[in-house]
Structure 1
Amino acid sequence: MKKPEGAWALVICALGWSLGGVFLKYVNVNSFAIAGLRSTFAFLVMAVFTRQLPHFYVKDEASGKVDRAQTIYLWLSALSYAATMIMYVISNKLTYAANVIFLQYTSPVWVILFSAIILGEKNRKIDYITFAGIAVGMVLFFADSLMENQSGEFAETALLGNTIAALSGVTWAATTLFQRKQQLLIAEKIRETGKIPSHNTSKDAFMLAQIITASFGLPFIFLMERGVPDLRSLTFLLLLGLLQMGIPNIMYSIGIKKVTALSASLITMIEPLMNPVWVFLFVHEIPTVKCIVGGVIILGFILLREFVSKKR
């Protein structure tokens, strides 16, 4: 029987993640600078809470030499997650927060397509059904933009914002695939040597991603008109680093060890469900009907795949 604190850790994680959309609406800073400052605060939070700094390479426990394959996938994972964070911030400034989070959750499509190539895993019939369902949901997201049937604040930027959000789904899938590949390599090493790695490579990848994003985004502060963020922007940037990125990532690393993969997938669905709710309550931003229907279709097919996979 699973310990209840694992599930609660994931609930806290998902609720924290879901605050990104509403917090970003209160930050009056260019998108790259937002990404850089948020990751700076998130890195500091993770370092303080875990009392650890990331490893920049993976050492072979048997020989003591650098494991090149694992190190490559460590950095590919970190770079993919950094790209995801940057595009998440940019797209939130260009389109509806609900659009961003639902389109980011199209990542299973790309996992399905590339898992056979990168991981050598075979796809099943339910995978292709999920792919078709998510494709329908994505078409609905872009329908208004393509048919020029939008009006309001995001009418001119929605197509670009939706496109970047969809690309963030690709990079998030790449993060998942590269981390999974690394875990397969670790399992192979354990079978060969019987030695368990001394550090958590997934945590390393997430912390390295914060460093990469911060290094990329912080120089854009100098392009700001006022030179520094105003008090409101700085407050919400701190909240983004603490409540939306730092603590949730720590909670995820705790919770994922204590519940099944299916339970983790279902619990973290709180994020795409609550993200538009917070934005509606505090910013009064309402996405189009097509976008809402598209999001429901995407989540529905992802949940269907999880249930069928668990049953098998």
Structure 2
Amino acid sequence: MDRRALADFLRGRRERIAPADVGLPRGPRRRTPGLRREEVAQLAYISTEYYTRLEQARGPHPSREVLAQLARALRLTDAERTHLHHLAGAPPGPPPGPSREVRQSILDLLDRLPLTGAIVVSATFEVLAWNGLACALMEDFSALPRRDRNLVRRVFLGPHPGGRRLYGVSDAEAFARASTQRLRAAAARYPGDPELTGLIGELRAGSEEFALLWAEQEVGADTTLRKTFDHPLVGPVTVDCDVLDLTDRDQRVVLYTATPGSPSEEALRLLSVVGDPHPRVPG
């Protein structure tokens, strides 16, 4: 355990987090550039004295549980989390679960893309963020509870009788297979995540098709480059699908664009005017 390096790392990570990032008021008398020590301790469910000793390079060897709580409190990336464990002399086990926090720069990017529908999905296919055109093209994600923002759950289990056959997307069959394969790979990366385990159990019990695909034990997944949405207002909209992998958080940005000058581009232009009045991320 490198106590001095651990102390410096904790202090540096603490000072970069603004109170507003974790829902705390800044207050008129705050002199600390980031969070206070007691605030980190509270977020990590440890005592202020214990955390202070860690930052003063005189603390005891932290347990894996404490390190996991500190990683969450300080909003560490996977690489930073691994580094924290090595500094503490406790090489990390597998991540507890897929990250649901989207970088601010990615959120800003979604709003700057012209005539492009964009969503951010987690390793378990939960839609974490979106822009207005994505809502107008696909559905209003902000009107859905978190549970119903999972694309795999919706494609196999609903929201309508018959599930994905009423989803209105041309690549439903290919998506069903690819998402099952990616979900299997995610289950191997996050073996201790109860939410992911519960999702897989729910899908296997509720969808015979998913159960059959799951039994194939496949993990490779081809990416669909083009799909057509059967939109109720503007008719068929054919889009190219490009995926940007955010490897540090195990997330993907999915971009939907149409061929310039095509009827589908005109449809996207119309939908961009319709837009979506709701927030780009869940409240």
TM-score class, shorter: under 0.3
Bigger helix fraction: 1
TM-score (norm 1): 0.23
Bigger strand fraction: 2
Could you say which structure has the larger radius of gyration? 2
| Bigger relative contact order, structure 1 or 2 (CA pairs below 8 A, ≥6 apart) | 1
TM-score (norm 2): 0.24
